[in-house]
Every structure is written in C-alpha cells, then in structure tokens.
Amino acid sequence: MPHLGDATRGRILFGGDYNPEQWPEEIWHEDVRLMRDAGVNSVTLGVFSWSRLEPEPGAREFGWLDTLMDLLHAAGIGVVLATPTSSPPPWMGRLHPETLPRTEDGRVEWWGGRQHFSHSSAAYRRYAAAITEDLAARYGGHPALTMWHINNEYCTFDHGDEAAAAFRRWLRERYRTLDALNTAWGTAFWSQGYDTWDGVLPPRTPHYLKNPTQVLDFRRFTSDMLLECYRAERDIVARHTPHLPVTTNFMPLWIGQDAWRWAEEEDVVSVDLYPDPRDPFGAQYAAMVQDLTRSQARGPWMLMEQAAGPVNWRGVNHPKPRGMNRLWSLQAVARGADAVCYFQWRQSRQGAEKFHSGMVSHAGEEGRTFQEVKQLGADLAKLGPHAADRHITAEVAVLHDWHAWWAGAQDARPSTEVDLPAVLTAWHRALWENNLTADFAHPEHDLSGYRMVLVPQLYALTDAAIDNLLGYVRGGGVLVCGFLTGVADEDDRVRDGGMDARLRELFGIRVLHEWWPLDPGETVETDGFHGTLWSEELEPAADARVETVYRRGELEGMPAVLRRDRAWYLSTLPEPDALRTLLARIAAEAGVRPVLEGLPPGVEAVRRGDLLFLLHHGREPVTVVLAGAHHDLLTGTTVTDEITLGRYGVAVLRP
C-alpha cells in the first residue's frame, strides 16, 4: 500500500493549494521563483478547476495544466493533484437540476458557491468519474505527480428526492425488513410505523421534533454516501497509479464524516486546521486535532490546509502575530505531521475567499507573511531528515466515536449546553497542560497498549464497545469516564436504568436517579472543586469508593466522583484546574508520566522519535530546565542543562 512516505522521502512537505487558473501565466513564473525562495516542495493543483478543465459538458482543456505540471516539475516541486469534483461547473446545475442539494427545509443550494452537489446524484457521479478517469489517464505518469487529493472537505447533506431514494436503499441494506427499521427507529411512538419503504424520507423538517434514530441513520447514510463518492474516485486513480498515495482532506472534528471509517480508506490522512489566532486555547485545540489526526493515520499525517495569516469566515478575522505561524507549524510536526501546507499559495484577488490569507499575501513578497513563510521553509528543511516518518508514543488514549456524537447531538435532550467537542476539548486540555501525550481511539479499538483510557463522553455505545472497556479494565487498565456515557445503544435506544448496567457495575453506581444538568454559567460545589455543565443524583454501590461528594443543594452528600478499583466515573465536568489536577493524579497512579516535569506554564513538550520538541506559546521569555546537553536542530547549537525560549520560541532537541 502506498503511504505518505512515498511522497515525503525523508523531507517534510511544505507548500499549499495552488490555484494558478486565477492568474495570468506570467505570474506562474513569479510563483515558482518565490516557491523556490521559500523552500516549497509540494503544491496541490486542481481543487477548484472543474469548469476550467471541462468548460462545457464533455469538453476537456488540459493544456494549461500540462504547462503547470511541467513548470513545477522543472523547479523540483512535487504536485498533489486534486480531482475537481467538490465544485461542479454551473452547467451541471443548469442541465441536471437534481444534482443540486436540498436542505431539510426543502431549499435548493444553488451554484454560485461551492460543494453544491448531491452525493446521491447519478448524473453528478457520472461526470465526476469521467473527469477523474481522464485526469488520471493524462497525469498518472507525470514525473511531478506525488499524490492524489480527492474532492475537498466533503460536507454536503442532501434531503432531496434522489437522496431519499438512496437513503431507502441504504436502509434496506442495513435493516433488510421494514419491521427491523420500525423497531430500530421506535416508530411505535408518535404513530410513525412505516408500511412501505416508499414512505421513508430523510428527516425533512416536521411540525415538531424529528425521530432521533432517523436523524442518526441519516447521518450514517450521509457519511457513507460521501465515502462512496470518495471511493469511486479513489479507485479510478488507484487503478492508474497503484504506487501513489491517495488522500482527501478532513475538516477537524467535523460532524458529517465518520473519520475513523474514512481514514481506513485513505493512504494518507490529511486535515485542514484553522485555530483562531485570538483564541487563548488555540494551540491546545490544534494539539487535539493533531493527536486525533495522527491517531486516524496511525502514524505520520498531512497538514493539508492552514492559514499563513487571517481567514475570512469568522466575524472578526485576526491575523497571526509574528512567530505564530512558525510555532503552530512546528507544533504540527512535533505531533506527527510530515507535511505542512496551506490554503493557499497566493492570496486571491477575486472571489469569496480573497480575504483568506495566502503564503504570499496581498502585501506580496515584502509582506511580513511571506517573510515568515520563508523562515519556516528553512526550518522545515533542517528538520526533515530527523523528524519525517518518525513515530510518537502515547500511554494515554482518549476515546471518540462519531456515531456516539450523532446519537447525542440531537434536539430535545437533557441539556443543549452539552456540546461534545467542548467536552472533548476540556479533557484534552487537562492532558495537554500536564504534558501527557495522548492518542485518540475508537471505543472498539484494542486499548491494551495504553496505561490509561479516558472517555470524556460516549453517549451511545455498542455492546462490543462496552465489552472492550470492561476487558480493558479487567486487563489492568485505568479507565476514567465522564457523564452521559453508555446511555444508549447503537439505535439510540436508552439502556435499562438510563446507563448500561455493566458500566454502572464497573464504576459502582447502584441507581442513577436523575440527571441534574446545570444552567449556562452555573456551577455546582463539591468538597474538592466546582463542577460545570452537569451533575447527577447517583446512589453508589456498596463497594464503590466515593472520591468527591456534592455539597449543598439537592445533591448534598451524593458522589460527584466515584470509582471501583481502576474505573473512575465523573458525574460532572470539573473546572479546568480541577480536571487537570485530577487527571494528573490518576495518571501518576496509572504510572503515566509527563514528557517533561516542571515546565513553565505555556510550554508544550512532545517527543517524536528521538527528538524533544519544546514549544513556547507565550510572549515573554521562559527558561526550561533540561537533563544534560542537547543538540538544537534549528539553531545548530548545543544547549546544556537549560534553554531559554523567546516569544513563540521553538527548540527541537536531540540528546
């Protein structure tokens, strides 16, 4: 199987999306000059080129692309070639209106933007296959080609009639009989029993609440249909170039794709990552996404898109302060990236994304943005031979599952304040601030290699997942579990007692009387900390050990945190300091140690292969104590006993 290493070959890929069709040909030569200047070694072509490649149905215009492939190859720059299928040309909607998606409210999503295709449309798929076939045939043998990039940020739902038919086919395959569907969806309630397959629809806006299992299955279906689109194109290019890796770029923690399942179908896992430069926890959010992506990749991964400066889609779009682009890029390498790329090479002057920065900003070569890009290119060139293809070892795993998210993120639930990504982020932050390196894992993955497993929240769990958790603890593992876990089965059917009985036994919960979700901003007092978001009226089992109890109010004296042996249960979300302290204590008990002890606040430490990355997220200089002498790859100097990191400073050390 081809993999990322086939493209990197000991280097870290550096570059970005390149959309030269926006520019006259003379700019292309200027681009290549600047790319070489900045150490760019890889660009992605063709992401939005469909209407240029196929200006009318069936036409082909490849000449401009031939020129670019040759030009880039001549400059020693590899090409990741994209299938252009994320943005169909206007003629497709005009000639085949059924290719346009419909929202749950029945509104058409017209051309004039991007991603306006129905995954279920036969016409769309036919055109997509044809252009992919022709691209692969023409460029499969081109020496510049290093990788395939299928489509872009798959994300489009469709509730229209062709999608409805496809949904029914998908459901027939899943359930075989209408009886099975009626049972799984609980249609006995609210008189929703289906008597014919024809009556089953996507969850179009009803008068009142939707059927939650219908919504859940529609999410599964959408992820699967988009994956079918991906696989169809992947299979075409793989037939032409079985030796070249294939990827499609994820949006991080995006709810629309079951990324565990998708990652299995990719040779290279890639992600687009856009933390807000103003977010004080932007670096931690990035670390979480990087850990998740590395875990999906089971090794090195590709940062397909980031911004060299501001983006254009927030309310207020802040630029990156001096040094932040380099810091965050090297953080990605520290956490396993072997490719550091951007959207996009040259900032557009027209169109909807002209205020999204590029590696070459509107200010041009003299602009601070490009100057910093150049410095980063030099740094990456130094790191490549030592960092690329190296692995990262974690003793902690954080569990996440899209199906659990889909089941939980619905209307009409105990608290709409509970947002799974925010809960995941809170738990991951506690690890990150402790410099405890963590992988992510699926609840049915083999967990035996980890000393400690965290379940911030898995609202729905299959029986297999529950068995897996039980086996993990039985095997000596330490399990720490947050509230709203194991509530439902895979059909979103609430398990007996409101939480799976095996899990309740595992943690020492006799009766779960009531959930007490908290109002926005409300906290609940315990004898050790304040809890947020949630609390519970629990009756512990006789053999449970109550670690912390609620104080005051209706829950006075009831367990906030309890455990049975190595299985911990948190019935609230402790405030950040408390969660950090608690997880540090449990980790110590589990024999898990941080990457480095005694780091100043804001300094992140990660080991990749034999390298120690120190990343300073603050603006005032700090000193880090080291054990003995280290070689600093970026400066080429040797540091002994301690190192001082300046504003947004990074050191990559080898003992």
Q: How far is the CB of 551 from its own copies (least distance, A)?
A: 16
Catalytic residue selected from 54, 109, 162, 305: 305
Q: Which is nearer to its own copies, 110 or 629 (by Cβ)?
A: 110
- Here's the x/- map for its own copies, 39-58, by CB under 8 A: it reads as ---------xxxxx--xx--
Q: Which of 224, 248, 238 minimizes the C-alpha distance to 167?
A: 224
DSSP secondary structure letters along 139-152: HTT-TTEEEEE-SS
Q: Which of 101, 95, 81, 57 minimizes the C-alpha distance to 225?
A: 101
Q: Dihedral of CA 86/88/93/98: which sign?
A: negative
DSSP secondary structure letter of residue 599:
P
Residues 6+ apart with CB under 8 A from 61: 52, 53, 54, 55
Footprint of its own copies on residues 577-606 (CB under 8 A)? none
491 counts as binding its own copies under rule CB under 8 A: yes
Residues 6+ apart with CB under 8 A from 286: 273, 275, 328, 331, 332
**One residue of 8, 19, 325, 485 binding its own copies per CB under 8 A:** 19
Q: Which is nearer to its own copies, 198 or 264 (by Cβ)?
A: 198
Footprint of its own copies on residues 398-427 (CB under 8 A)? 411-417
Query: 457 near 484, Cβ under 8 Å?
Result: yes
Q: How far is the CB of 277 from its own copies (least distance, A)?
A: 10
132 counts as binding its own copies under rule CB under 8 A: no
Rounded CA gap, 299 and 337, in Å? 9
**One residue of 73, 138, 368, 530 binding its own copies per CB under 8 A:** 368
Q: How far is the CB of 483 from its own copies (least distance, A)?
A: 14
Catalytic residue selected from 153, 233, 266, 490: 153
Footprint of its own copies on residues 209-228 (CB under 8 A)? 209-214
621 counts as binding its own copies under rule CB under 8 A: no
**One residue of 60, 169, 278, 585 binding its own copies per CB under 8 A:** 278
Rounded CA gap, 20 and 49, in Å? 10
Footprint of its own copies on residues 248-277 (CB under 8 A)? none
Q: How far is the CB of 502 from its own copies (least distance, A)?
A: 16
* Binding-residue total with its own copies (CB under 8 A): 115
Q: Give the DSSP H/E element, type plus range, for residue 463.
A: helix 463-474
**One residue of 80, 289, 430, 518 binding its own copies per CB under 8 A:** 518
Give yes or no: 153 in active site: yes
Which tokens in the block code for residue 14?
Answer: 């550096």
Q: Count CA atoms within 13 Å of residue 547 on its CB side.
A: 21
**One residue of 126, 169, 513, 585 binding its own copies per CB under 8 A:** 513
581-610 exposure pattern, b = at least 16 Cβ within 10 A, e = fewer:
ebbbebbeebebebbbeebeebbbbbbbee
Segment contacting its own copies by CB under 8 A, of 16-24, 220-228, 245-253, 623-631 = 16-24
114 counts as binding its own copies under rule CB under 8 A: yes
Residues 6+ apart with CB under 8 A from 189: none
Query: 408 near 420, Cβ under 8 Å?
Result: yes
94 counts as binding its own copies under rule CB under 8 A: yes
164: β partners: none
Footprint of its own copies on residues 171-200 (CB under 8 A)? 185-196, 198-200
Q: How far is the CB of 8 from its own copies (least distance, A)?
A: 29
515 counts as binding its own copies under rule CB under 8 A: yes
Footprint of its own copies on residues 309-328 (CB under 8 A)? 309-310, 312-313, 315-319, 321-322
At 170 the three-state DSSP class reads: helix
Q: Which is nearer to its own copies, 178 or 341 (by Cβ)?
A: 178
Q: Which is nearer to its own copies, 126 or 278 (by Cβ)?
A: 278
Q: Which is nearer to its own copies, 164 or 639 (by Cβ)?
A: 164
Which tokens in the block code for residue 211?
Answer: 């059927």
Rounded CA gap, 447 and 473, in Å? 10
Give yes or no: 305 in active site: yes
For the annotated catalytic residues, the residue numbers are 153, 305
